[in-house]
């Protein structure tokens, strides 16, 4: 993990009273990430754009209790609309 990424991913949750959850080593499929999110009550995620796409397609219900999702270089805030979530804001390109 690069220094800048580890600084953000670890210190922001800690400095805001959160808990850092690290996924176990090895390959995890979308269902395993869904279980990890539910087991730990995760409310904010940092995902690669590819992993976000896979989870959104395969297990969109995994995001039910998640308030913020950061994917790739885009910042996404979960919004309820007709029982689903939508992207409310992205960072400028």
23: left (phi over 0), alpha (psi -120 to 50) or beta: beta
pLDDT band at 39 (very low <50, low <70, confident <90, very high): very high
pLDDT band at 40 (very low <50, low <70, confident <90, very high): very high
pLDDT band at 30 (very low <50, low <70, confident <90, very high): very high
pLDDT at 79 over 80: no
pTM over 0.85: no
pLDDT at 46 over 60: yes
Specify which of 2-16, 32-46, 79-93 reaches the highest per-range mean pLDDT.
32-46
Residue 89 contacts residue 76 (beta carbons within 8 Å): yes
**Neighbouring C-beta atoms of residue 45, cutoff 10 Å:** 21
Residue 77 contacts residue 89 (beta carbons within 8 Å): yes
Residue 75 contacts residue 89 (beta carbons within 8 Å): yes
């Amino acid at each position: 993990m690069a220094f800048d990424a580890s600084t953000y991913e670890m210190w922001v949750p800690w400095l805001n009273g959160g808990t850092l959850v690290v996924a176990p080593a090895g390959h995890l499929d979308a269902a395993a990430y869904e279980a990890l999110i539910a087991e730990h009550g995760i409310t904010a995620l940092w995902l690669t754009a590819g992993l976000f796409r896979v989870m959104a397609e395969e297990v969109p219900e995994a995001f039910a209790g998640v308030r913020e999702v950061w994917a790739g270089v885009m910042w996404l805030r979960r919004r309820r609309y007709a029982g689903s979530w939508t992207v409310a804001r992205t960072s400028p390109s």
